[in-house]
Amino acid sequence: MRPFIFFSFLLIWHHSVGAWDYELHRFVNQIALKTLPDSFPAFVRTTEAAERIAYLSGEPDRWRNSNEGALKHVNETDHFFNIEDLESLGLRLDELTGFREEFVASIVTARMQKSALFELNWASMGPNRNRWVPGLLPWKLAEEYGRLKSGFSCLKTFEQHGGQTLEIVNAQASVVQVMGVMGHFAGDAAQPLHTTRHYNGWVGLNPSRYTTNRTFHAWIDGGFIRKSGLDKEAILRRVRPARLLWKSSNPSDIEPVFSLTLNFVREQFTQVDVFYSAEKSGALKGAGTAVGRNLMETQLLKAGQFLGDLWYSAWILAPKDFFLQSALARRKLAESEK
Ligand SMILES: [Zn+2]
């Protein structure tokens, strides 16, 4: 019987519910677009590109609707991070590695250190075999930032070293794709219920007597705003210009992007109590109070600002792609020798 105890201990409350509704994810990406300075590449602001970026905010949730096990296995855990679960796993928030696989391995290592009887029983880990992972949202967001930087590196190199028009257009399309998809995860990160095991009503000890209602998540994701309305123009007026998230005089420094995404998620985790107590006070009931509406608007704004900062920083900090540069130089040479 003992191993069974360890398995059940290991199972994580998984977020089987959605995220901000598509309309709100779209709006987060639109806020982020609004933060970009005029100096930012203009191709992202054409009507088509802006619509594509808004549309792609919903893409990772569309993947959730698929029945493909291999996709669900990796995609489901990218949308949340249950911070409280670290403790039972024997892990500390301020000691986490920014490398996804290393973090996943550290969960197994921590378990093995706690019990010589520990073994991973895959059949008990849910249909998609991932119910032992407390979520990977901060890693996913950092990875998407890396993809965007790579896209900008490629684009800059094509632009500056003789890329053909179609190559430049394709590199721009890749940038638009990553900007849109990564926006989804910035949006999720600003939904406080995506940072906690209390993601859909309070679970376990409940001294503050918060709601245990299993509709709370859907209510915060969109039900409340459908009822209360959202003054998009007022939110867009509060936007500040995107800023560089990180500066260093030493070019060999590695950007601390994971610590930025982790810190962002950690900050939103502090809002879990705030949201539950707002629910308790009635501020989120029906069309809500000014306090309740402001809470929601502030989270959407935070998501859009952070996303805009990530986009802007990826563009500024993307180095040249030297591999591509030398390939373009060889091509140019071969053409001149014809
Ligand atoms: Zn999501």
Residue 134, pLDDT score:
93
Q: Would residue 2 count as lying in a domain?
A: no
The predicted pLDDT at position 14 comes to 65
Lowest mean pLDDT among 18-27, 138-147, 304-313: 18-27
pLDDT attached to residue 11: 60
Residue 272 counted as domain residue: yes
Q: How far is the CA of 277 from the centre of ligand 1 (A)?
A: 24
CA 333 to centroid of ligand 1, rounded, Å:
47
Distance 188 CA to ligand 1 centre (A): 5
In a domain, 51, yes or no: yes
What is the tally of structural domains in the chain?
1
For all residues of the chain together, what is the average pLDDT? 91
Give the model's pLDDT for residue 18: 63
> 258 CA distance to ligand 1 centroid (A)?
19
* Dist CA 328 CA 152 (whole Å): 16
**Residue 120 Cα to ligand 1 middle (Å):** 27
What pLDDT, on the 0 to 100 scale, is given for residue 6? 42
- The predicted pLDDT at position 179 comes to 98
**pTM of the predicted model, to two decimals?**
0.93
Q: Ligand 1: distance of its center to the CA of 38 in Å?
A: 30
DSSP string, 119-178: ---GGGSTTTT-TT----HHHHHHHHHHHHHHHHHHHHHHHHTT--HHHHHHHHHHHHHH
Q: Would residue 47 count as lying in a domain? A: yes
Report the pLDDT value the prediction gives residue 119, as an integer from 0 to 100. 73
Residue 327: give the domain boundaries: 17-74+136-336
Helix axes 271-281, 257-269, angle to 10 degrees: 20
Residues with CB under 5 A from ligand 1 (ion): 19, 79, 188
In a domain, 131, yes or no: no
Strand partners, 199: 201
Residue 130 main-chain phi, psi, to 5 deg: -130, 20
Distance from Cα 83 to the centre of ligand 1, integer Å:
16
CA of 228 relative to ligand 1 center, distance in Å? 22
Note the maximum CA span of the chain.
79
pLDDT of 12: 62
Within a domain: residue 172? yes
pLDDT for 77-87, tens place per residue?
Answer: 999 999 999 99
* Domain presence at residue 219: yes
224-269 pLDDT, tens digit each: 999 888 899 999 999 999 999 988 666 666 678 999 999 999 999 9
Q: How far is CA 184 from the centre of its chain?
A: 6
Q: Is the pLDDT of residue 310 over 90?
A: yes
In angstroms, what is the span from residue 79 Cα to ligand 1's centroid?
4
Using the mean position of ligand 1's atoms as its centre, give its distance from the Cα of residue 172 in Å. 25
**Contacts with 228 (C-beta within 8 Å, 6 or more apart), sequence order:** 286, 287, 288, 292, 293, 296
How far does residue 46's CA lie from ligand 1's centre (Å)?
26
CATH number at residue 37: 1.10.575
Is 218 within a domain? yes
What confidence category does residue 1 fall into, taking pLDDT thresholds of 50, 70 and 90? very low
Task: Place 16 in a pLDDT band, splitting at 50, 70 and 90.
Answer: low
pLDDT beyond 60 at 314: yes
